[in-house]
Amino acid sequence: MSQITPQPGIMDIALYEGGASKVEGVANVVKLSSNENPLGPSPKAIAAAQAAMARMNRYPSSDHAELRAAIAEVHGLDASRIICGAGSDEVLCFLCQGFAGPGDEVVYTEHGFGMYRIYALGSGATPVVAPERDRVVDVDAILAACTEKTRLVFIANPANPTGTMVDRADLVRLAEGIPGRAILVLDGAYAEFADGYDGGAALVEARDNVVMTRTFSKLYGLGGLRIGWGYGPKPVIDVLNRLRGPFNLSDVQLRAAEAAVRDRDYATSCQKENARLRNWLAAELGKLGVPSDQSYANFILARFADSDEVDACDAFLKSQGLIVRKVAGYGLSDCLRITVGDEDSCRRVVDAIRAFKEQSE
């Protein structure tokens, strides 16, 4: 046998599976399985990326100063405490690499995003799972799961795949209650879809143990380009920057993201369209006997009788060219996560689920 073996923990990682995008033999397929923006990126972001392509013989900026300045301006933040990554995933990875290793614990919740476990194991730390209460992050359960070994606590707010949120008072209680050596990471991948929510920025400003992560993959429609960012206390961001490759973002990524974040009109119109169609989709499915919790994101988590009905409905939707996401891997085998598509896609989903319900009566 070879003596070559990976670091402890690595072989416990199950490969992440992205949302499917094809159905064999079905035309006019719409992908509603990865929470992508159905309207695409801002035309200004596309133009900026195209212009940057012509300069690809040059290395990109390594300090991301212009993108950080744009983000800081739009969100009212301190640019020196922003770090940009290849997707917010990369920032989550830096947090685990920088702050959790063998013997340390990383806490996240029952239905929490799959990457928290992957990065915790990747850095040799021990994942600890706290229960949720009716598909909502339970601050008391997280605090009960914390020990002196806890180094990181990850929650997504709004959460994926549930779409639910924890309110401000609970976030404060969580930040105050975690052990002294732990960092609370507020994953704000869907923050822009929650009207009036700052993604946790004010809490980052008020404390020295909170980090917020954000992404260009969801609202801004740039998932294929891989750009995200984090915001936190200076000493934490300083650690993450030491781990960051100097050229982790290409000029194409940087320019597209800068144009996207500055195009407020486009972002606002996408937010409004999402809210309108999300609420319509949830209400229509509710009338068909398919309930969902109030979602604050760009998807809904539709609940069915059991996993058999989920499998049957998923197969039926596929046959109609509609790809949604099964979430049994997140402990939600009686649910399907459905991204809010454009108006036509939302109507197709409602029509298909109505037909499914009628045929199974």
Ligand X SMILES: *Cc1c(COP(=O)(O)O)cnc(C)c1O
Q: What residues line the site for ligand X (CB under 6 A)?
A: 87-89, 113, 156, 160, 187, 189, 215, 217-218, 223, 228
Residue whose CB is less far from ligand X, 16 or 247: 16
Return d(Cα 96, Cα 240) in angstroms, integer: 10
Min separation Cβ 133 and ligand X, Å: 19
Min separation Cβ 319 and ligand X, Å: 27
Return d(Cα 108, Cα 94) in angstroms, integer: 17
Residue whose CB is less far from ligand X, 275 or 288: 275
Of 117, 118, 155, 115, which Cα lies nearest the Cα of 136?
Answer: 155
Residue whose CB is less far from ligand X, 160 or 320: 160
Task: List helix spans (H) across the chain.
Answer: 43-53, 65-75, 88-99, 114-122, 139-145, 168-177, 201-206, 234-243, 251-262, 264-287, 307-319, 343-359
Residue whose CB is less far from ligand X, 104 or 187: 187
Return d(Cα 135, Cα 119) in angstroms, integer: 23
Nearest residue to ligand X on Cβ basis? 87
Residue whose CB is less far from ligand X, 68 or 218: 218
Min separation Cβ 334 and ligand X, Å: 20
Cβ(318)–Cβ(324) below 8 Å: no
Min separation Cβ 159 and ligand X, Å: 7
Min separation Cβ 209 and ligand X, Å: 20
Long-range contact set of residues 73-82: C-beta below 8 Å, sequence gap at least 24? 74/261, 74/262, 74/264, 75/198, 75/201, 76/201, 77/201, 77/231, 80/234, 80/237, 81/231, 81/232, 81/233, 81/234, 81/237, 82/229, 82/230, 82/231, 82/237
Residue whose CB is less far from ligand X, 61 or 88: 88
Cβ(158)–Cβ(296) below 8 Å: yes
Return d(Cα 129, Cα 106) in angstroms, integer: 8
Min separation Cβ 89 and ligand X, Å: 3
Min separation Cβ 91 and ligand X, Å: 8
Residue whose CB is less far from ligand X, 160 or 274: 160
How do 126-130 and 105-109 pair as beta strands?
parallel
